[in-house]
Structure 1
Amino acid sequence: MKFSLSWLRDYLDFSVSLEELCATLNRIGLEVEGVDDPSKRLSGLRTALIKEATRHPDADRLQLCRVDGGTGFEDVQVVCGAPNARSGLHVIFAPPGTYIPGSDITIKAGKIRGQASGGMLCSLKELGLGEESNGIAELPEEAPIGADYVRYAKLDDPVIDIAITPNRGDALSVRGIARDLAAAGIGTLKPYVPAKVERHGESSIKWHIDHPACSYVTGTLIHGVTNGPSPAWLKRRLESVGVRPQSALVDVTNYLMIALGRPLHVFDAQKLKGKCLTLTHAARETFRALDGQDYVLGTQDLVIVDENGVQSLAGIIGGEHSAVDDMTTDVFLESAFFDAVQIALTGRRLGVQTDARYRFERGIDPAFVKEGLEAATALILELCGGIATEVTEAGQVPQWQRRAGLRFERLKSFGGLEVSARDAVASLEKLGFEVLEQTEEKAVFSVPSWRNDIASGQSLDQARSLSKEQAEMAAVHVADVEAEVDLIEEILRLRGLDAVPAVPLPQTTMVPAAALTPQQARNGALRRLCASRGMMETIGFSFVSDQDAALFDDVTESERLLNPIATDLNQLRPTPLINLLSALKRNIAHGFGVAGEASFFELGPCFGQKGAHLVLAGVRGGTTARAPGHAAIEPSWIDAKADLIAALESISISESSLNTTADAPAYYHPGRSGQLRQGPKKILGRFGELHPRVARHFGRTGSVAIFELLVDDIPLSKTKRKAPPILSALQPVRRDFAFLAGKEVTIQDVIRAVRGVDRKLIEDVRLFDIFEGGSLPEGYRSLGIEVVLQPQGESLKEVQLEAFSQAVEEAVKKATGATLRR
């Protein structure tokens, strides 16, 4: 929101400095984003006269201008290349030492092509005041010589730019800002005097409402207007805040929208057909707006139509067909109250951003609809002439009356600042709140119509109908607690939130609580583990294309996005592997990683039949670096399984408690994948190589190792003190066993049978060899199992080892039918 200092003075009588004014704005929550002071930016410029202009002797496109720039610069030669430089022209002269903001240069006296030049003649573009580029600026003949150009052009008017939070629609007007400043002690708010308009006859155009998003609309027909350029004062006002003047009729609506916060629209009445304008639903037609763009409207969009069709996208932008121009003589002026949510939804869907939409979707004053129409009508009659008809209207002014209660002791107990009851009431009254009831302990206020951000308990009519006992109860137990909180905030911000003393929270224990929850600690451990194994963490979108998602899961409508940010991000992802595989493809294609090898992981959400759940996923692709005696190799399912087991062990789940089954999802390689389980049903994770069909979809022809850890399916380990490890002084003993087993026998069953022989003595059991063919019977394979024994009290004797070997042989044969190879 931009406004000039002179514009603010129309509504606020003050004498403080610009610096104090900006400090107050920051204090009361209207943050100053910038101040543009042309008097400082354009200091040193003078009005001047070109007394004589002759051709440069050594350059065809340059002229030697003798310039009269006033005292000290009565006769200065300036070399100028502008085609419009000529004798008798009044210009803008920059003496040596003047900074030119548009060109970012400081003028110096010197020579140009051998001729002395003691300054510069400026264009508006070079000064940052416009887009004129056909030559130097031409001033009127009555312009004085040697005057300060900033003062002459009335540019000595600083423009303040403030940031408005979405809840403060009332501050999107110069008068609203003036009201806040007056309440904060900066000057006195000037009373608003409603416009008085002399009207003649009824309007031939009536209103009809057929859409719930419009509750009240007014209009007036003005005959015999003369449209044309706005007066200089109005142009300067609009230009100072970055609004381009167009014509008097359009400029009036823009001026009052900024000054009073009241969006308006003016139609060329002669371009309208019929005797009624209707606010209704759009019908999927195409609408050409004032910006020259065509918009396809939806059935929920609110539009203003006549017998020819849509003439305005209500509350957002008018139509090109009914726009006013220099030939306009009759206009119909509209002022209405529209639903903020409806305006926001339509504007967002169509991508239309206008100043009117910006105000409507943040909330405007519902009680100022008709007054705003009167103000605009009066100004149009003043600038353009004409005769106004009686106001035509439809609907009713919405019930904006609300109440809010305040307990004065809450200013200290909740707000943290000592404020007397009298001062608190005075502050709210300056903001427009009216006292309904007041005692020593509490007060009930009516909320002004322009403050739609203030929550309310009961309506004003309900507040007045309460009995004394009910009123006291309502003030203590406010129906809507936010109402009291909002009033406290208003009182505090006028004094500055920095004035509230800092109070430490009460210390409930000498031992601080853990900085991380158990879930956060576990997630951190998983991230560190993957990083330590050479994988790079990524953070991907939770949205993917439905084509990619279909490769990993059945695509359902429940995970389809109705309003995706991009067409290829229209589905909630079933697994983070989709993002990781896309990253793998891009990085290997660009040569990132060592010798074409790359590995990534992500700990993030995915979505499916179980809803949202957390998954740790990782991928490895490419080839390892070549080395003497070692060929480059691709990652395999063994690498993926090692990553998954390492991740599980980092969160205190040992490999010995896991079972491996060969039933991974269909996007895994059917013969090189598996799932890790605890018990027969509980799946903790998956590992393996990516299915070749899916790999080709992501541009990979070699093997890609992947794994997924279902983090949310793993219960948190109980936090208990760990017993110190028992470190034996004796050497471990290793024994190898080769079992002849049918192919239907799983390795997991063999390992489980061996481990169950003596859990205290056995340190580790692992598979080290699988052999098929040769002299082995058909349908059988040899499984090499290494067993590590760790004696504790004494060294194992040969007899004990023989007994242990016999027990292993019997246990495996009983559990799986496999026999020991002799």
Structure 2
Amino acid sequence: MAPTYKLRLVKGVKIAPSPTWLQIKLWTAGIRPINNVVDVTNYILVKYGQPLHAFDKNKIDGGIHVRSAKDGETFTTLDGEDRELASADVLIADDTKPVALAGVMGGLNSEITDQTTDVLLESAIFNPSRIRKTARRLVLHSEASQRFERGINYDTVETALNEAAQMIADLANGQVTEGIVTATDTPRVLPTIHVSDQSINKVLGTDLTTDNIKNIFDRLGFTSVNVNDGLDVTIPARRWDIEIPADLNEEVARIYGYDNLPVSLPTGRMGVGALTATQKNERAIRQVLEGLGLTQAISYSLTTADKAKMFLTRSSIETKLSFPMTKDHSVLRMNLLSGLLDDVAYNQARKVSDIALYEYGRVFFKDGEEQVRPTEVSHVAGVVTGNFVNKSWSHGVVKADFFLVKGMVEQVIRNFAPNGEVEFIADDTIKEMHPGRTAKVLVHGKEVGFVGQIHPVVEKQFKIKDTYAFELDFALLDSLPKNADQFTPISKFPSVQRDIALLVDESVTNDDVVNIIAKRGGAYLINTDLFDLYTGDNVADGKSHLLIHLHLLTSATH
């Protein structure tokens, strides 16, 4: 939690405004002067980059401890806000209570006031990761937290503490007690990075020798030792930002001079550019759906937990962000339709009632908490509401309905020529879809998606009206076997066309009728189309009147 933690006590101080020269320096740095103790800590922060914190010693009960906070523990910071803490937060506490949120902000219960006489100065290094998480979760980004997040020079922790203590003694008429209280003082192991002139020249395009590179490191104050194939460079504590060979390449380029780097064209063989399979699929989808009259929409991949769980056709858990900026963007989506319904709601709220949208994008599934990264799957979805075609002198209104959207789905699937029949089977398992107006889509016996009307309860939730939608697992659809392109010559024999009328129970589906006709028609039957459906006058209750068109060819043409 705190690799280095040191304290020093200054007694008998008198709190007063800082001298003019110190106030001017702080104003120049963009810091508001407060008093001669707090101003010294801010001055040292600017000078050394080392955050310090000053406690009122008389408000400390017993000793000082560094500990993890407890889940649900509350603490009032210097800005007067009550903060609810988590176990990942680091606290500075005395024997009875927390007195500071380590590396972020001090506590109101130990602040320096006009009545303060004894000052306890803290100089430390805290775990950057924990400070960053605390500051981000509490939305409490202070100058100190930003310094700790980026790293602190181990060599200046004690130097900054001693200088601050002496300045406070001088400016506040106090007395520095002898000695430093050191809770922890973990020495930092200086990293050694190996580089060679070949690797640096390859990256920079230069022709530097080992001696040239060593000279640059000497100028930077880095200790470098010649080895057989290059240099072992020891990085000083003040440059904690240098960790890998690429960082040293950057330092060499900076000192050598960016303007001195040679300009050269890229080398290597140039290949012929081509679209990836993903790009081809996306363009094909756009061509089909935009040709059908839909407009592309692009939604956020992040959504709410409730919307992420809508329209699911497979089991999955949410992929949550550790630190979401807002609750509306806290979970990776597991469907595209919820985003499209937001778009429909946005447009209908602004009196745009005729809407036809589609989206091609990725959704994210996780089979369990043990799965670190979610599985990304390409989906395509569409929504249609209102009039799909408005009234004109040449035609009437075409309203959005189930069969319109079903035809769009068939067109998308046919465009990718999967091997196998497309089937639509009535379905009521998706609770966000209307149970009597929804069908799952099967290709080659595999379920690839669904089509239907949005459930009235969901429409009310989104504040939309009569919306029809579909969503397909495009990755699965694209993986199915494809039909090879074949040429079929036009028959030289005439075909025969017949229309038949059937009276069936309402429970009998068109698919049932077509399957029976296909079995009975044999090799002569080429195509079957339902072109009329009637229920009403002169038709018995519970019955449907079907008109079916049959297209037949003699077997001699096969």
Pairwise same-fold verdict (TM > 0.5): yes
Aligned residues: 544
Aligned counterparts of 2:115 and 2:494: Cα–Cα separation in 1:
103
Query: 234, 253, 272: which one pairs with 1:512?
Result: 272
Query: 735, 750, 758: which one pairs with 2:497?
Result: 735
2:412 alignment counterpart: 647
2:45 alignment counterpart: 257
Query: Does residue 295 of the first structure (1) align with residue 57 of the second (2)?
Result: no
Structure 1 residue runs of 5 or longer lacking an equivalent are 1-212, 456-482, 790-795, 808-822
Q: Give the alignment of 1:98-113 within 5 angstroms.
A: none
Give yes or no for contact 1:732–1:788 (8 Å, CA) kept in 2. no
Aligned counterparts of 2:332 and 2:220: Cα–Cα separation in 1:
47
Show CA shifts across 1:675-703 (max 9, x none). 232223x12232122223322332245x3
Aligned counterparts of 2:483 and 2:458: Cα–Cα separation in 1:
44
Aligned counterparts of 2:214 and 2:474: Cα–Cα separation in 1:
56
CA 1:236–1:574 in structure 2 vs 1: closer, same or farther (change >3 Å)? same
1:662 alignment counterpart: 426
Q: State the secondary structure of the residue aligned to 1:225.
A: coil
Query: Does residue 324 of the first structure (1) align with residue 112 of the second (2)?
Result: yes
Query: Does residue 585 of the first structure (1) align with residue 350 of the second (2)?
Result: no
Query: 186, 196, 200: which one pairs with 1:397?
Result: 186
Query: 471, 478, 483: which one pairs with 1:715?
Result: 478
Aligned counterparts of 2:484 and 2:266: Cα–Cα separation in 1:
32
Aligned counterparts of 2:483 and 2:46: Cα–Cα separation in 1:
66
1:228 alignment counterpart: 16
Query: Does residue 697 of the first structure (1) align with residue 461 of the second (2)?
Result: yes
1:381 alignment counterpart: 169
2:206 alignment counterpart: 417
Aligned counterparts of 1:746 and 1:256: Cα–Cα separation in 2:
82
Q: TM-score w.r.t. structure 1 length?
A: 0.60
With 603-612 and 671-680 compared, the bigger mean Cα shift is at 603-612
Aligned counterparts of 1:565 and 1:671: Cα–Cα separation in 2:
39
Query: Does residue 621 of the first structure (1) align with residue 385 of the second (2)?
Result: yes
Q: Give the alignment of 1:768-783 within 5 angstroms.
A: 768-771=531-534, 781-783=544-546
Q: Flag the structure with larger Rg.
A: 1
CA 1:774–1:291 in structure 2 vs 1: closer, same or farther (change >3 Å)? closer
Aligned counterparts of 1:727 and 1:446: Cα–Cα separation in 2:
78
Give yes or no for contact 2:358–2:383 (8 Å, CA) kept in 1. yes
For residue 619 of structure 1, report the CA deviation from its aligned partner. 0.9
Query: 259, 272, 295: which one pairs with 1:536?
Result: 295
Q: Give the alignment of 1:491-570 within 5 angstroms.
A: 491-497=252-258, 499-508=260-269, 511-514=271-274, 516-548=275-307, 552-553=311-312, 558-559=318-319, 563-570=323-330
Q: What is the letter of the counterpart of residue 747 of structure 1?
A: N
Q: What is the letter of the counterpart of residue 28 of structure 2?
A: S
Q: TM-score w.r.t. structure 2 length?
A: 0.86
For residue 639 of structure 1, report the CA deviation from its aligned partner. 1.2
Aligned counterparts of 2:234 and 2:524: Cα–Cα separation in 1:
79
Q: State the secondary structure of the residue aligned to 2:357.
A: strand
Give yes or no for contact 2:418–2:481 (8 Å, CA) kept in 1. no
Show CA shifts across 1:370-391 (max 9, x none). 1221222233233333221111
CA 1:716–1:494 in structure 2 vs 1: closer, same or farther (change >3 Å)? farther
Give yes or no for contact 1:295–1:350 (8 Å, CA) kept in 2. yes
Aligned counterparts of 1:570 and 1:410: Cα–Cα separation in 2:
43
CA 1:685–1:298 in structure 2 vs 1: closer, same or farther (change >3 Å)? closer
Query: 114, 122, 126: which one pairs with 1:338?
Result: 126
For residue 751 of structure 1, report the CA deviation from its aligned partner. 4.3
Aligned counterparts of 1:609 and 1:277: Cα–Cα separation in 2:
45
For residue 244 of structure 1, report the CA deviation from its aligned partner. 1.2
Aligned counterparts of 1:588 and 1:246: Cα–Cα separation in 2:
55
For residue 577 of structure 1, report the CA deviation from its aligned partner. 1.3
CA 1:454–1:704 in structure 2 vs 1: closer, same or farther (change >3 Å)? same
Q: Give the alignment of 1:753-764 within 5 angstroms.
A: 762=526
Give yes or no for contact 1:734–1:786 (8 Å, CA) kept in 2. no
Give yes or no for contact 2:525–2:550 (8 Å, CA) kept in 1. no
CA RMSD of aligned residues (A): 3.5
2:371 alignment counterpart: none
Aligned counterparts of 2:492 and 2:227: Cα–Cα separation in 1:
87
Query: Does residue 673 of the first structure (1) align with residue 421 of the second (2)?
Result: no
1:601 alignment counterpart: 358
Give yes or no for contact 1:366–1:449 (8 Å, CA) kept in 2. yes
CA 1:672–1:721 in structure 2 vs 1: closer, same or farther (change >3 Å)? closer
Aligned counterparts of 2:130 and 2:387: Cα–Cα separation in 1:
56
1:351 alignment counterpart: 139
With 245-254 and 605-614 compared, the bigger mean Cα shift is at 605-614
Q: Give the alignment of 1:91-240 within 5 angstroms.
A: 213-240=1-28
Query: Does residue 635 of the first structure (1) align with residue 400 of the second (2)?
Result: yes
Aligned counterparts of 1:699 and 1:233: Cα–Cα separation in 2:
63
Give yes or no for contact 1:686–1:707 (8 Å, CA) kept in 2. yes
For residue 664 of structure 1, report the CA deviation from its aligned partner. 5.6
CA 1:351–1:489 in structure 2 vs 1: closer, same or farther (change >3 Å)? same
1:684 alignment counterpart: 448
CA 1:732–1:714 in structure 2 vs 1: closer, same or farther (change >3 Å)? farther
Q: State the secondary structure of the residue aligned to 2:135.
A: helix
1:151 alignment counterpart: none
Aligned counterparts of 2:14 and 2:346: Cα–Cα separation in 1:
64
Aligned counterparts of 2:494 and 2:159: Cα–Cα separation in 1:
95
Give yes or no for contact 1:772–1:781 (8 Å, CA) kept in 2. yes
For residue 534 of structure 1, report the CA deviation from its aligned partner. 2.7
1:484 alignment counterpart: 245
Show CA shifts across 1:777-811 (max 9, x none). 8876554333457xxxxxx8xxx59x99xx9xxxx
Give yes or no for contact 1:664–1:675 (8 Å, CA) kept in 2. no
CA 1:708–1:572 in structure 2 vs 1: closer, same or farther (change >3 Å)? same
Give yes or no for contact 2:41–2:164 (8 Å, CA) kept in 1. yes
For residue 616 of structure 1, report the CA deviation from its aligned partner. 0.8
